[in-house]
Structure 1
Amino acid sequence: MNSLTFIISVVALFSISNGFPATLFPNPEFQDFPIPDTVDELDPSTVVQLFIEFEREYNKEYMSPLDQAKARSIFQFNVENIIRLNQQYANTSLRFGINYYTDFSDLEFKEKVANLHVDSVSQDSQIGESAPNLENIPASFDWRDRENTVGGVSNQGYCGCSWGFTVSSVIQSAFSIQNSKFFIPSEQQLCDCAQGGNSGCSGGSVRDGFEYVKQNGIVLEENYQKHIEKHQEMYCVQQKDSIHVSNYKFIQPATSSVIQKTLLSNGPIAVGFKVSNSFRHYKSGIFSLNDCEISDNFLGWHSVTIVGYGTENEQDFWIAKNSWSPSFGEEGFFRISRNIDLCQIESKMPMFVQL
């Protein structure tokens, strides 16, 4: 029995025997905002109505009427951009829409969301095997199809801690695959405590996040909940009943085929990539725009978790889990072109863990 067959058999077995729900955090039904087809149709009354619905849908609150007016102006600018993008790519499967961050300017988005510290392979980096020896590679694969392996999508909100959410997501899946149990690790613990070269909500490194868990462990979310006040040292000391990783490794060579095989043999993978102005408005389809390489459109780096891959209409893609709430993209996930290293999603820093 090869490695892939073994993993699929094990996951299928615990899915049937334990009967856990697919996710302990069901995605809420976010409203699909109907927006005009052209900018000319976006009259002032339509903007006001859309913004009211947006505020209600995402529980937006502003410090003052002036801040609210500023947010509405940014919202209108972004909706106009969304309309133009949908017009430009009308003949493709790619669609753009309103999400949690539509009231963010590009500068705010860069400072508060897309501020990942990019990891580089160094002499002391642990390197994964060049290509796991797998046979009969399936044409498509999605860890979400294996019950209890990929948890619900979180919302990092105004906190630039994508690195912590990605580390938590990868460890959660690795633990579930190996132990046939659904485990919800604390993202907040990572964002608060995994300092080192990290800066919490001001950005951080996936590698430093994994190193923190290797040294200190990560606890259940119920024992270290979101929005807990920071800088309380009692919460950042090593605790009992925490999960540790024995190692974390960069995938080298960082090619599409090696990432694909590692995904199958080890589980979901952490990656980083360049975020562009168009990607922040992604709604559905296969994202294939290379505008991240244009300086005016580049917003910063971001980390996500690759959970699968496939092909649609002869276009290869990765399936990735984001941390921008289930309102983003395809219920919090997105598809992005595969085999072309789009926005360096394949080459820069793919990593996996070993428990």
Structure 2
Amino acid sequence: MKLLLLCLLIHVPSLLASEAWDSFKKTYNKSYATAREENFRKQVFLERLKLIEEQNRKFEQGLSSFSMAINHFADLTKGELTKPSGIHASEIVEKNPSSRTSRSEDVPDSIDWRDYGVITPIADQMFCESCWAFAVVGTVEAHMGIYHQQNVSLSQQNLVDCVDLNFTCGQSLDRGMVEKTYQYIIDNNGIDTVQSYPYESYTVGTCRFSSDNVGATIAGYVNITEGDEDELKTVVGTIGPVTVVITTDYMWTSYRDGVYYNEDCMNTSEIFNHVVVIVGYGNENGEDYWLVKNSWGTWFGQEGYIKMARNRDNNCGIASIARYPIM
């Protein structure tokens, strides 16, 4: 069934709309409360399918650097998928302006920290706006592997419940949430393991942290110079993965392959609405890219990863708000 959906990438006209819709519902176990709701979602899905067909035609013709595919978000509207956070890079207040000189070794032309066995598996935040927790956890886990040779899985739910006691899963990304999260781990003397504090994809309303179950601690965090992709490359290449706040648009959410570049996904003039982890960088078919770990499960992109444009005028603001931990 998944193969049938992938075939839709190029050959949409060869399938009836109803067949495509039925295939989507079956593959992703979709069901709707009323016939009216299903009809609305079907129309959203068919519009997304049309957009994908148009984009992939451009990709085949060499007019674009990335392709798109149906995934589990294909029945959601643009507003649902790209809810603005109200954050602009220039508004971020750096509460912990730590500084740390990057290592002096030559910066490699490319790196993929997955090759070093320090990147934990792709997770799924589901329908909780908790990307910030997953991104910080993913970054700290990687640095634990690099600097302490420990493969540990940390608790996103610990952060969801405890960083901001007023946080709800339906709210937009708060200003400075990445900074608040790193500072919480510092002040709290650690973060619990996921085994002791599993993810529930909703807010419980109480913080259940236990110092007996700490899986990692950090000494501080570093703010990379806003918009500086060269500095970001140096850090990723010589120190380790980095948490970044980005702008995602409607096309980003259906990314499948290639290097994502959208001239409409501009940098600091946009409102940032998602947090991810840069785990490497390189060049593909002449296109510089950042290798980005997302938290939408393996259905998204390249088994949960996306290659985003690098050295393209800070596209999607990828270098505007970038932080990493000091272990």
Task: Give the alignment's TM-score, normalised by structure 1.
Answer: 0.80
Note the C-alpha offset of 1:210: 1.4
CA distance in 1, matches of 2:266, 2:311: 17
Note the C-alpha offset of 1:266: 2.5
Note the C-alpha offset of 1:351: 0.4
Note the C-alpha offset of 1:187: 1.4
Calculate percent identity across the aligned residue pairs.
22
Q: Does 1:190 align with 2:163?
A: no
In structure 1, what is the equivalent of residue 60 of structure 2? Answer: 90
Note the C-alpha offset of 1:72: 1.5
**Secondary structure in 2 matching 1:339:** coil
* Mapping 1:229-248, distance limit 5 Å: 230-233=203-206, 235-242=207-214, 243-248=216-221
**Secondary structure in 1 matching 2:217:** coil
Note the C-alpha offset of 1:150: 0.7
In structure 2, what is the equivalent of residue 152 of structure 1? Answer: 121
CA deviations 1:196-245 (Å, max 9, x no partner) are 68544423421112122222232111111122763352x43443221222
* Residues 68 and 255 in structure 2, CA contact (< 8 A), matched pair in contact too: yes
In structure 2, what is the equivalent of residue 214 of structure 1? Answer: 186
In structure 1, what is the equivalent of residue 325 of structure 2? Answer: 353
* Residues 82 and 248 in structure 2, CA contact (< 8 A), matched pair in contact too: no
Note the C-alpha offset of 1:252: 2.2
Ranges in structure 1 where 5+ consecutive residues have no aligned partner:
1-28
**Secondary structure in 1 matching 2:32:** coil
In structure 2, what is the equivalent of residue 59 of structure 1? Answer: 29
Q: Does 1:286 align with 2:235?
A: no
1:336 to 308, 321, 325: 308
CA distance in 2, matches of 1:36, 1:259: 34
* Mapping 1:87-166, distance limit 5 Å: 87-92=57-62, 93-111=65-83, 115=85, 117=87, 120-122=91-93, 124-129=95-100, 132-147=102-117, 149-166=118-135
In structure 2, what is the equivalent of residue 81 of structure 1? Answer: 51
Residue 166 to residue 42, structure 1, CA distance change in 2 (3 Å)? same
**Secondary structure in 1 matching 2:246:** strand
In structure 2, what is the equivalent of residue 178 of structure 1? Answer: 147
CA distance in 2, matches of 1:177, 1:156: 25
* Residues 161 and 201 in structure 1, CA contact (< 8 A), matched pair in contact too: no
In structure 2, what is the equivalent of residue 10 of structure 1? Answer: none
The residue type equivalent to 1:66 in the other structure is R
**Secondary structure in 2 matching 1:154:** coil
In structure 2, what is the equivalent of residue 20 of structure 1? Answer: none
The residue type equivalent to 1:101 in the other structure is F
Residue 238 to residue 212, structure 1, CA distance change in 2 (3 Å)? farther
* Residues 161 and 167 in structure 2, CA contact (< 8 A), matched pair in contact too: no
Note the C-alpha offset of 1:158: 1.6
* Residues 142 and 241 in structure 2, CA contact (< 8 A), matched pair in contact too: yes
Count matched residues.
315
CA distance in 2, matches of 1:323, 1:123: 25
Note the C-alpha offset of 1:48: 2.1
Q: Does 1:311 align with 2:283?
A: yes
Query: Please, what is the CA RMSD of the aligned residues?
Result: 2.6
Q: Does 1:268 align with 2:241?
A: yes
CA deviations 1:285-332 (Å, max 9, x no partner) are 0112121249xxx78521110000111233211100011111111111
The residue type equivalent to 2:126 in the other structure is G
Ranges in structure 2 where 5+ consecutive residues have no aligned partner:
none
* Residues 196 and 208 in structure 1, CA contact (< 8 A), matched pair in contact too: no
CA distance in 2, matches of 1:61, 1:210: 38
| Range 311-320 or range 187-196, more displaced | 187-196
CA distance in 2, matches of 1:145, 1:60: 36
CA deviations 1:22-71 (Å, max 9, x no partner) are xxxxxxx96552116476x276xx22222222222222232333322222
* Residues 30 and 326 in structure 1, CA contact (< 8 A), matched pair in contact too: no
Residue 115 to residue 199, structure 1, CA distance change in 2 (3 Å)? farther
The residue type equivalent to 2:274 in the other structure is H
Q: Does 1:70 align with 2:40?
A: yes
Residue 336 to residue 229, structure 1, CA distance change in 2 (3 Å)? closer
Note the C-alpha offset of 1:191: 2.0
The residue type equivalent to 1:54 in the other structure is F
Note the C-alpha offset of 1:102: 0.6
Task: Give the alignment's TM-score, normalised by structure 2.
Answer: 0.86
CA distance in 1, matches of 2:178, 2:210: 20
Note the C-alpha offset of 1:139: 1.2
CA deviations 1:236-289 (Å, max 9, x no partner) are 344322122221121126412211111133211011111122211211001121
